[in-house]
Amino acid sequence: MAWKTLDDIDLDGKVILARVDINVPMEAGRVTDATRIERIVPTVKDILAKGGKPVLLAHFDRPKGKVVPEMSLRQVLPALSGALGVDVAFAEDCVGDAAAAAVAALPAGGVLLLENTRFHKGEEKNDPEFAAALARLGDVYVNDAFSAAHRAHASTEGVARLLPSCAGRLMQAELEALEKALAKPDRPVVAVVGGAKVSTKLELLGNLIDKVDAVVIGGGMANTFLAAQGIDVGKSLCEHDMADTAREIMAKAAAAGCEIVLPVDVVVAREFKAGAENDTVPASACPPDAMILDAGPESIARIATVLSGARTLVWNGPLGAFEIPPFNLATDSAARQAAALTRAGRLLSVAGGGDTVAALNSSGAAADFTYVSTAGGAFLEWLEGKTLPGVAALDQ
């Protein structure tokens, strides 16, 4: 990639349109998880330090091109101001007279947040006129929203083609971590792929098999692979209609010299609830009235062996029903081992996706991974080998 960073463009005295992702969860008017806000702080502070005036472009929720008052970005102002340590100004629109007046009034050292870009239909349509209206507000465009980079929207792709453009610090860190993990990795490379369904991870598995040395498959996905081998998985979550696809993936992996690591023993229960009575049985011996909710101790030991021989790890999806103890053991133990190997300098570990972040946080391992991405769809599409419009637009 030939994208520029904040170090490659003169920002002094210029208005910097910075596309950020502050689409944070809210409850009763308060931000309940400020992670995304905290992650844009280095970019905003760098723009200020280089003499630029940061004007933040962002979306919130899905208003579908209409003004929806409860989806206004005004409600994140207290959390944003607190994280940045400055009173952030607010404009009632992201284009037009209100936005232009707010930009003109922005003093040196000030930060301005524009209203939800998705209040305009032109945003998601990547309408050239709407992109041009946004571009007229600034001198330089900075994209710091990797999590929205898989969308070809006006504020993620259109504006980048109209102004001198670069990646913000969060986008830069994300791209550098992903390039190290998949474009130029230290080998052996291991991928951990979990979650409920094979059908949602087909392109991911297809791309990874050609790039990694081993794929550890867990969660509901593993049940589909076990069933494809003729194993009865009882009442487990399983896509029986994907059996042929699972067999094709295993054949492709064998041809590519990529090891597929499936559970050899499993933890089963009759109820899907915390503390449910459970048994550990061989993967081939799930009782007909039970469901597989986690990998067993032999499988955990096998995963540990695979991880201990790896130099690079890419992780997407939990290995079991991690949110319901005691079915979090496989996910937690693999996550903690990856964290320990990373701390010891023996492993580069990159993880991402909603459930993945939650699983690594609950295991206490997230802080020690090399990089944990808060992006969901964009992270997955990058791993699938797709070109992300918001990143491609910076490559000029």
**Token couple for 216:** 């550890």
Exactly one of 197, 252, 270, 336 is catalytic; name it: 197
Look up 39 and say whether it is catalytic.
Answer: no
Dist CA 148 CA 189 (whole Å): 27
Exactly one of 65, 96, 110, 377 is catalytic; name it: 377
Exactly one of 36, 151, 169, 302 is catalytic; name it: 36
**What percentage of the chain's residues is helix, strand, coil (to nearest 5)?**
45, 15, 40
129, 153, 157, 355, 386 from 125: Cα distances, Å: 11, 6, 11, 29, 20
Look up 309 and say whether it is catalytic.
Answer: no
Contact 151, 390 (CB under 8 A): yes
Q: Where are the beta strands (DSSP E) in the chain?
A: 15-19, 26-27, 30-31, 53-57, 89-91, 112-114, 140-143, 165-167, 189-193, 214-217, 259-261, 265-269, 278-282, 291-295, 312-316, 348-352, 371-373
Tell me the Cα Rg of the chain.
23
Question: Amino acid identity, residue 146?
Answer: F
Look up 136 and say whether it is catalytic.
Answer: no
Dist CA 30 CA 75 (whole Å): 8
Q: Which of 175, 174, 177, 167 is nearest to 18 (CA)?
A: 167
Q: Which residues are CB-neighbours of 110 under 8 A, at least 6 positions away?
A: 53, 86, 89
Look up 353 and say whether it is catalytic.
Answer: no
Exactly one of 65, 354, 376, 385 is catalytic; name it: 354
Which residues are known to be catalytic?
A: 36, 197, 354, 377
